[in-house]
Amino acid sequence: MKTTRARFAAGLPLVILAWATSGCSRPFDALHELQSYDVVWDRPGNDSKGSMPVGNGDIGLNVWAEADTGSVCFYIGKTDSWDENGRLLKLTKVRIKLDPNPFGPGVTFQQRLNLGEATVEVRGGAEPDPVHLNLWVDANHPVIRIEARVPEGSTIAAAIEPWRLAPEVLKDELVSGLNFYPELFGPTVGQPDLILEDFSNRVVWYHRNPETPSFAKNVSMQGLENFPVVDPLKDRIFGGVMEGDGFVKRDDKTLICSTGSTRRLNIHVLTRQPAAPQDWLGAVDERIRRFADAGPDRARAAHLAWWNQFWNRSWIYVGSGASVKTPAGIENEGLVVTRGTILQRFINACAGRGRYPIKFNGSIFTVDAAGTEGFADYRRWGPGYWWQNTRLPYMGMPAAGDFDLMAPFFKMYADLLPLCRYRTRLYFGHEGAYYPECIYFWGTVFTETWGDKPLAEMPERIQASGWHKYEWAGGLEMAAQMFEYYLYTQDEAFCAETLLPFSEAVLTFFERHYGFDGNGRLRLDPSQALETWWDCTNALPEVAGLHYLTNKLRTVPPRLVPEGLKSLLGRLEAILPPIPTREVDGLRMLAPAERFAKKQNVENPELYAVYPFRLYGVGKPDIELAVRALDHREDRGHFGWRQDDLFMALLGLTDQARKGLIERCSRWDPTQRFPAFWGPNYDWTPDQDHGGVLTTTLQVMLLQCEDKEIRLLPAWPADWDADFKLRAPYNTVLEGRVRGGKVVKLRVTPRSRRLDVKEGSVSGTKGKGD
């Protein structure tokens, strides 16, 4: 892999410091600097493992070139292409074949991911007339665009290569497979795609979901058949239409073009549900007309404008003189950290504006994997949403200013509130709403999680699986993330219509569900501390979440808070149990629960009082309780969904956070060419949990906020330089420069917030190590 250059040569920071502190107002050109982190390859790949991602927030491509065939290939992924079994599928594979072959031996080749333009650029062939091929997904339209400049006499053949050609029984049911119990649900049968014949100079294909009994059985076994859950899989159609000026149809899968020096090809992609084929075709036609009316040049300009504003929202560029070993070899430390953050944020933007939240286990960029079914359709753990995994890509979005990417995340869980209220009344006979850890996007728990008996035959009116039977911190944490969004944006409509109703329902569940101890405090029993400790009293994640949320909601302007919620917050404050602690070797520290037993997994739930429920940290009381818990944690690591480096940064443990972050940034899947296809770790490649923790850790090393207080450099290495722009609560933007461990330049908008800024760590604590 050809890597990007290091930002700072030896001695350069001193030069920059001189002009930065002497009143020079030279602005930092973030878009120019971004070009240094374009991913550039000087040879073609072999298959999808050698691909790079590009997308528009809903549609994503894995793009690679093949030397032997003279082709540029890509998979098409989409955020809502759910099949009849609830699996998130690729739409198809596309091959753009050039004749004569411009990628053969002895010619120049370059494939570049142009980050600023969200475009894959492929160059190849002999001078003076090489092939130039650009691919992008329009930021404002559901259209994949391919533009090629080729020598006269060249032929381009564009073909789809579908692999779902006949019904197929899938053997791997996956943990969240809808038909996990085939003896009850029947086999998991994947239906074929349909390729249409009667379209002049267009290739048209789609997948149409038939009605299956699996959805209704999943709902009825959980006793929810009387709630109006509409089948979201039946009659869902997703597919595309490929067309272009000068392209003619060779067969049902292929278009060719042999004239002109510039060739333009469009692939229009659409999902509709419920839909009949004629409705879907009519909708695609309308979108094609609408896109044609916009004009290719105007559409391209609007596409570039969207990505320009995206990259101008925020940035962190790190400078370091140290080196680190990665799968690509020995690289500059600052380059590796900056690149990892930039590329992960790009992946988020390519998949974060669709109908549904980002899938933690591969997003829409899964690739072929040996020994799996369904080519790139496969993802370990399957189609379901685990809360503890789903949340992680979203943690750093407020500080990045990527509020639009959070909308699908909030919408899915908020839209499920009526179902969660109904389920709570049905199962437990009281008000409020609990959110199970593992759900499908329509709200029921996984078939495997529920078990093989209907509700009436269940020994408890709740799921059978012990992995997360009493793990109910998800609702509290979602409310906390909603609160953080409100704190940053000051969006009062979101606060009143989404945050507060959601929070009241979740808090009501905890007040109504549990009894009291001898001191009149809530006694959360049975409870469990994540998937790790199954037998608990007062599990820390739930207790910490209750304290955190009740405290934070007290800061919302009273005029926005309903009287019922005010009363609830007052009652809860009087009855919440204390944060669990324990003593080890004579030292008091945070504990997974007041009482805990039966360890089954490798999480550290005691540190959830550091994050996501930020009760302990830099500048906060009793930080040593959290630092000792970190030092005594049983399970460690800086990969996948593990958050050790994030905890370290929030506790002001600079050296440990740095070491953990560098390890994380250096750890992409060695079978993949793209240096931000992390994984598979615990889940699947590209692992979005790994990248989510990475981006958030770097942010909180540089900037931490507590209500109106803004603390800069709370865990920042003294030998790291930086140029940055980040968001803070109350619609605040900070843009600055760090040299020699100090902030040497800072602009705060609005200026009134400058008084709230502090610099440095005040923890005064040291951890024992990583």
Count CA atoms within 13 Å of residue 269 on its CB side. 27
Above 80 in pLDDT, residue 533?
Answer: yes
Could you tell me if 349 and 401 are in contact, meaning their C-beta atoms sit under 8 angstroms apart?
no
Burial status of residue 667 (CB atoms within 10 A of its CB: 0-12, 13-18, 19 or more):
buried
Above 80 in pLDDT, residue 502?
Answer: yes
Q: Give the length of the chain.
A: 770
pLDDT digits (tens, 9 = 90+) for 149-208: 999 999 999 999 999 999 999 988 788 999 999 999 999 999 999 999 988 999 999 999
The torsion of the CA quartet 335, 338, 342, 345, rounded to 10 degrees, works out to: 140
| pTM score | 0.95
Instruction: Identify the three-state secondary structure at position 760.
Output: coil
Residue type at 597 in one-letter notation? A
Q: Which of 202-216, 542-556, 755-769 has the lowest mean pLDDT?
A: 755-769
Above 80 in pLDDT, residue 256?
Answer: yes
Please state, as a whole number, how many other Cβ atoms lie within 10 Å of the Cβ of residue 61: 26
Query: Which residues touch 737 (CB under 8 Å, ≥6 apart)?
Result: 16, 20, 28, 721, 722, 723, 724, 743, 744, 745, 746
Looking up tokens 């009287």 gives 563
Query: Which residues touch 446 (CB under 8 Å, ≥6 apart)?
Result: 175, 176, 180, 384, 438, 439, 440
Q: What is the CA radius of gyration of the chain?
A: 27
pLDDT at residue number 21: 33
Could you tell me the pLDDT band of residue 373, with boundaries at 50, 70 and 90? confident
Above 80 in pLDDT, residue 729?
Answer: yes
Burial status of residue 325 (CB atoms within 10 A of its CB: 0-12, 13-18, 19 or more):
exposed
Tokens linked to 134:
């650009």
Q: Is the peptide bond before 714 cis (omega within 30 degrees of 0)?
A: no
Nearest to 3 by CA among 154, 113, 99: 113
Count CA atoms within 13 Å of residue 160 on its CB side. 28
Nearest to 729 by CA among 486, 452, 487, 444: 487
pLDDT at residue number 26: 65
pLDDT at residue number 360: 98
Could you tell me if 686 and 679 are in contact, meaning their C-beta atoms sit under 8 angstroms apart?
yes
Could you tell me if 201 and 246 are in contact, meaning their C-beta atoms sit under 8 angstroms apart?
no
Residue type at 395 in one-letter notation? M
**DSSP-derived secondary structure for 108-173:** EEEEEEETTTTEEEEEEESTTS-EEEEEEE-SSSSEEEEEEE--TT-EEEEEE-----S-EEE---
Phi, psi dihedral angles at 464 (to 5 degrees): -85, -35
pLDDT digits (tens, 9 = 90+) for 377-431: 999 999 999 999 999 999 999 999 999 999 999 999 999 999 999 999 999 999 9
pLDDT at residue number 767: 62
In terms of phi and psi (left: phi > 0; alpha: psi -120 to 50; beta: otherwise), the region of 567 is: alpha
d(CA 65, CA 179): 37
Query: Which residues touch 297 (CB under 8 Å, ≥6 apart)?
Result: none
Could you tell me if 334 and 7 are in contact, meaning their C-beta atoms sit under 8 angstroms apart?
yes
Above 60 in pLDDT, residue 22?
Answer: no
The secondary element (H helix, E strand) that includes residue 85 is none
Could you tell me the pLDDT band of residue 10, with boundaries at 50, 70 and 90? very low
pLDDT at residue number 23: 36
Query: Which residues touch 273 (CB under 8 Å, ≥6 apart)?
Result: 209, 232, 233, 234, 235, 236, 237
d(CA 524, CA 510): 8
Tokens linked to 227:
């709630």
Nearest to 392 by CA among 602, 177, 688, 156: 688
Tokens linked to 739:
């040299």
Mean pLDDT of the residues in the chain: 94
Tokens linked to 439:
């759900």
Residue type at 309 in one-letter notation? Q
Count CA atoms within 13 Å of residue 591 on its CB side. 19
d(CA 132, CA 112): 11
Could you tell me the pLDDT band of residue 769, with boundaries at 50, 70 and 90? low
d(CA 337, CA 314): 16
Could you tell me the pLDDT band of residue 763, with boundaries at 50, 70 and 90? very low
The whole-number average pLDDT for the span 285-311 is 95
Tokens linked to 663:
């390890």
Residue type at 4 in one-letter notation? T
Instruction: Identify the three-state secondary structure at position 511.
Output: helix
Q: Is the peptide bond before 100 cis (omega within 30 degrees of 0)?
A: yes
